[in-house]
Structure 1
Amino acid sequence: MATGLLITPGQWNLPQHQQATATASNFLAEIFGQDGDFELQDCSTTVECLDDLDISISSLVKEELKHSIKSRRSSKGLPELTTGEEEPKSYQMTEEEIERRRLRRERNKVAAEKCRKKRKIHEERVIEEYKTQSELNTKLREEIKKLKKEEEELRMLLKYHATVCTLAV
């Protein structure tokens, strides 16, 4: 990564949209040298190197923008902006808040237990209904087999009777 030199955008006589490009160019020149000769020795593939380089350039541009904003605000006498990245301050709960939290957790515990019990009862009903329906299904399949066998026997009896019977139909 770049070491030492940090050029603020205000030091260039470039339009605002070209300043980030110039920053990236300075960054690349500092890493790879002025002649542009470099080897990809630290990375296993060119893509990894380019990804790392892109991340480094992005972070460099961010830092330079932060610096630019900070210096502009301080020159105008405005206070520094906070980014919200600070650690949150610890908060000591009052006895009332502790008691409300305890009661809420207790109610939640009871509700969760009730929900689990209700779900278990529902699952048991579903399993029982499944067993009942499976038994009924098995009995009905056996009945179907029995009726098909009886139908076949009756058809054979009818065929035999048709050969013996002399009445014309």
Structure 2
Amino acid sequence: MRTMSSVSICEDYEDGQILEAACVAIQTGSMTPIIKQELRFLIQARRLAEGKPELSDQDVKFVPQVTMELRPEERIKKENRREQNRKAAKKFRKKQTALIRNYRKRIQQLESENTRLTSELTTLAEEKHSLQGKLKSHLDVCGCVISVLV
């Protein structure tokens, strides 16, 4: 499945390696083959610019990483580490939960105290207003002069 745009882009390259990479990319839906080919060309251009010899396809290979089986003692060590990690994570989550619980309890205490203090402030303001009214009515009747600090 070669399109006209991919052919025109790849005309500069002699052996059509980028075209092949583009076709593989289209088939697989991954940009990796194109990126790898572009990296090859970039490395080759730098080597030539520095006066170094060209690399052949045998020199540049992208080989998937080989995974090796763990020895029994390594497997046991890995499992022990995982178990320690699970325990530590469980302990951490438990500690975080306790901290959150304590913070919520403290928030409730502070909110209830705030409500109580707001109520007390309202009561004291009403009492102040009442006392100021009584003082004013007394001054109107008595006629005495008192300096009042407000």
TM range (shorter): 0.5 to 0.7
CA distance in 1, matches of 2:37, 2:129: 89
Identity, in percent, stands at: 23
**Structure-2 change in CA distance of 1:61 and 1:120 (3 Å):** closer
Figure out how many residues of one structure are paired with residues of the other and give that number: 116
Using the TM superposition, give the Cα deviation of residue 82 of structure 1 relative to its aligned residue in structure 2, in angstroms.
3.3
Deviations 1:12-69 (A, max 9, x none): xxxxxxxxxxxxxxxxxxxxxxxxxxxxxxxxxxxxxxxxxxxxxx998766556676
| Distance in 1 of aligned mates of 2:71 and 2:134 | 93
Unmatched 5+ stretches in structure 2: 1-5, 16-34
Once the two structures are superposed, residues 98-133 of structure 1 have per-residue CA deviations (whole angstroms, 9 ceiling, x without a partner) of: 000000000000000000000000000000000000
Q: Which runs of 4+ in 1 moved over 3 A?
A: 3-8, 58-70, 72-75, 79-83, 166-169
2:116 is matched with which residue: 118, 139, 151?
Answer: 139
Matches within 5 A, 1:1-169: 1-2=6-7, 6-7=13-14, 72-73=53-54, 80-82=58-60, 85-169=62-146
Alignment match, 2:29: none
Post-superposition Cα deviations, 1:112-166, rounded to whole Å, max 9, x if no partner, equal 0000000000000000000000000000000000000000000000100001114
Aligned partners of 2:38, 2:76: CA distance in 1, in Å? 50
After superposition, the Cα gap between the structure-2 partners of 1:147 and 1:116, relative to the gap in structure 1 and judged at 3 Å, is same
TM-score by length of 1: 0.56
Cα-to-partner distance string for 1:63-110 (whole Å, 9 max, x where unaligned)? 65566769x4469xxx94335x32001211100110000000000000
Alignment partner, residue 41 of structure 1: none
For 1:89 and 1:155, the matched residues in 2 are separated by 90
